[in-house]
A and B are shown apart, each in its own frame.
Chain A
Amino acid sequence: MVAAAHTTSSFKDRVLEILSHVPDPEIPCVSVIDLGIVRDVRDDAVVITPTYTGCPATLAIEADIRTALDKAGLSALKIETALTPPWSTDWISAEGREKLRAYGIAPPLRTAPQCPRCGSAHTEELSRFGSTPCKSLHRCLDCREPFDRFKCH
């Protein structure tokens, strides 16, 4: 079967490698792979999932993935959207979390957020709604710097 031979791990790895260079349009330090937006790679399609229901970046993300696939000569690969299981911040990889912290955004944790600059857990929430749907606004009570936190979701 030609199709079956096509879905080798090397093909999948190649597509994942391409997609690991597609940044999130709002938080460019992390890729669509880091965020857990890419659910699966099949021989005929890349399956993605939206993060927040109202995230305006959803369309931009799909367009960016399309462009990256086309550039790699993979125009035949379709992009499918899967709503279940619903995306949550648990889908963000360990590497993605570290990249967020280094970028100055506190990664989602079930515990109190830590200041991404000085590491202090002595922080306060300024606003539950931040500059994008996925973030809330906080302030470190030790170094006094304000910072964004990726909402635990």
Chain B
Amino acid sequence: MADTALFDYACRLGDDSLILGQRLSEWCGHAPMLEVDLSLANVGLDLIGQATHFLKLAGEAEGKGRDEDKLAFHRDVLDFKNCLLVEQPNGDFAQTIARQFLFSNWQELLLRELCKSTNATVAAVAQKAVKEVAYHARLANEWMVRLGDGTAESRDRLVNGLDWMWRFSDELFEADAAIEPLIASGVACDARKLRPEWDVRIARVLKDATLERPKARRATVGGRKGHHSEHLGHLLTEMQFLQRAYPDAKW
């Protein structure tokens, strides 16, 4: 029997990881130095690995025979459930780090809670991934400090990047009617409860980076309902091109 709530939730988890993984892969061969190139590619690989597991689960919950590849490569933009933060363009290196900083610190807290999920697959994937995401958060936190407390230019770029990404952070802590039943049954995490600890983590890094917390502004939301920015469509045209042009191609 189809479990539409679980399908929706697993898509949210999987799409966050998939889209950010794809974004990070755009840095491959272009990062400021070799170590950073390797780091961003590795983070992207981890995220795509998570996405594979979560979208496989989504396909099973849906029960229509769609596997993780079908869901990744043959869904249209309105069917993607990722948060708006992860689809934001890379911009410069500082903007990429700002996005990773906000996301990985949130994702680490989320996965830590999901280790206790009553859904065995969600818990198993979270237990593996949470250790990897701790690395992502450390990488981003360290670069926040190096860039923020670095040169005038690195600081300016980071302030601008963070200012852009900040408006998408409130969406991370939303919970809506679609997943309330899953929160009640212990499958999903109530993301609203992650906010206080996230705020503390963010504040600590910003202090080390000698940066101000960006001013609160009206949150930009909608990704969980499929209301995306124009950027996601462009990302998908590139990511899905091969499977759209040559359906089910294998190599």
CB within 8 Å of B: which residues of A? 50, 52-56, 58, 83-88, 126-131, 133, 137, 153
Contact = CB atoms under 8 A, between A and B. Distances in A.
A5 B127 CA distance: 36
Given A54-B47, A84-B120, A129-B42, 13 more contacts: A50-B49, A50-B128, A54-B45, A55-B45, A58-B49, A84-B127, A86-B127, A128-B135, A129-B35, A129-B39, A129-B135, A131-B38, A133-B42
B54 to A, nearest CB: 10
Given A127-B38, A153-B131, A52 B46 contact: yes
Given A52-B46, A53-B50, A54-B49, A128 B39 contact: yes
Contacts, number: 68
A112 to B, nearest CB: 17
A62 to B, nearest CB: 13
Consensus secondary structure, chain B interface: helix
A83 B44 CA distance: 21
B209 to A, nearest CB: 18
B127 A126 contact: no
Contacts of B38: 127, 129-131
Interface in B1-41: 21, 35, 38-39, 41
Interface range for B: 20 to 34
Contacts of B43: 129
B239 to A, nearest CB: 16
Interface in B34-81: 35, 38-39, 41-50, 53
23 contacts: A50-B49, A50-B128, A52-B49, A53-B46, A53-B129, A54-B44, A54-B45, A54-B47, A54-B49, A54-B50, A55-B49, A58-B49, A83-B121, A83-B124, A83-B128, A84-B124, A86-B127, A128-B39, A129-B35, A129-B38, A129-B42, A129-B139, A130-B42
Nearest to B128: A86
Interface string B111-137: 000000000110111011101100100
A9 to B, nearest CB: 29
B138 interface: yes
A29 to B, nearest CB: 21
A129 B42 CA distance: 7
Contacts of A131: 38
Contacts of A55: 45, 49
